[in-house]
Structure 1
C-alpha cells in the first residue's frame, strides 16, 4: 500500500477569489488532482487530505505576519476546490480516506500522519497539491527525514509563480531524492 497526500487544494488556495490563491496555476492541475485521487482510492491505497486549518482568533500563529487570513475554520475557503471536493464527499467514509487538519506547512508537523502511515506499513508517499515551494516542500522534507520514499506528481502540484514552483521541483529531486513523475 502507498499513500497519496493531497495538500491544501482548497478554495482559499485555488479559487479565483480565494484569500491566498494560486489562481490559474492551481486551477490548471484540478483534472490531474481528481484523476490521481480517484485512482488511489480505486486501487485501495491510503489517501490523506492534509488541509491548512487556521483560527481567526489565534494571534500567535507565525503565518499571520506573512500571509492574509486563509483557510479559517468554518469558512468555505477550507472546502476542497471543485471536483476534488466531490471526490472527497463521495469517499470520506471509506477507511482508506483520511482528513488531517494541519496548523503548519508540513502535513507531518503536529499531526498523527507518521503514525497512521507506519500502522499501514506505508513506505512511499505521493505528494500533490499546493504550494510546491511551501507546504508540498515542507511535507516532503519531513517525509525525507522520517525515511519515506517520495514521489511528486509534477502535473498535480503548483504554486503562486513558476519560479518558485520550478525551484521547488529541482530541490525536491536533487536534494531530497524525490522521484518526480
Structure 2
C-alpha cells in the first residue's frame, strides 16, 4: 500500500508575495502535484496534505530565529496554493484524503502520521511539495528511519536553493535508497 504526502504547498511558500516563497520553482511543480494527487485519489490510495502551521508572535519556535513568520494559523499564507488548493477543496472529507498540521520540518515529528500510515497498511511513501532540502528532506529521512520505502518525484519538489535541491535529490537516492523519478 502507498501514500502520497503533499508537503507545504501553501501561499506563503509558493506565491510570488508569499512570506517565505520558493516562487517560480514552486509554481512550476504545480501540475505534477495535481497529477499525482489525481492518480493516487483515483486509485483509492491515501493522500496526506502535511501543512506547516505556526502561531502569531510565537517566539519560542526554533524556526523563529531562522525564517520570517510564515504559515500563520488562520491566514491566507497557510492556504493551499492554486490548483492544488482547488483540488483539495474538491476531494477533502473523503476517507483517503487527510489534512495533517505539522509544526516541524518533518511531517512525522510531533504528529500521528506514522500511526495513520501503519493502521492503513502503508509501506510506501511518495513525496511532493516544498522545500526539497528542508521539509521534504526531513520527512524523507524520518520515513526512511521508520522503514518506509520512498519515492520522490523530482518534478514535484522545489526549493529556493538550487544547489540544496540538487544535493537533496542525490541524498534521497544515495543515502536513503529512495526512488527519484
Q: TM-score band (shorter)?
A: over 0.9
Q: Secondary structure at the match of 2:39?
A: helix
Indicate the residue corresponding to 2:101 in structure 1.
Answer: 101
Q: Is the CA contact 1:41–1:96 (under 8 Å) kept in the aligned structure 2?
A: yes
Deviation string for 1:70-90 (max 9, x for gaps)?
Answer: 000010001111000011000
| Matched ranges for 1:105-144 at <5 A | 105-144=105-144
Structure 1 gap ranges (5+): none
Root-mean-square deviation over aligned CA pairs: 0.6
Q: TM-score, normalised by structure 1?
A: 0.99
Give the ranges of 4+ consecutive aligned residues of structure 1 lying more than 6 Å apart after TM superposition: none
Deviation at 1:51, TM superposition (A): 0.3
How far apart, in 2, do the equivalents of 1:99 and 1:6 lie? 10
> Matched residue pairs, number?
181
Indicate the residue corresponding to 1:56 in structure 2.
Answer: 56
Indicate the residue corresponding to 1:91 in structure 2.
Answer: 91
| Matched ranges for 1:1-181 at <5 A | 1-181=1-181
Structure 2 gap ranges (5+): none
How far apart, in 2, do the equivalents of 1:112 and 1:85 lie? 23
Q: Secondary structure at the match of 1:115?
A: helix
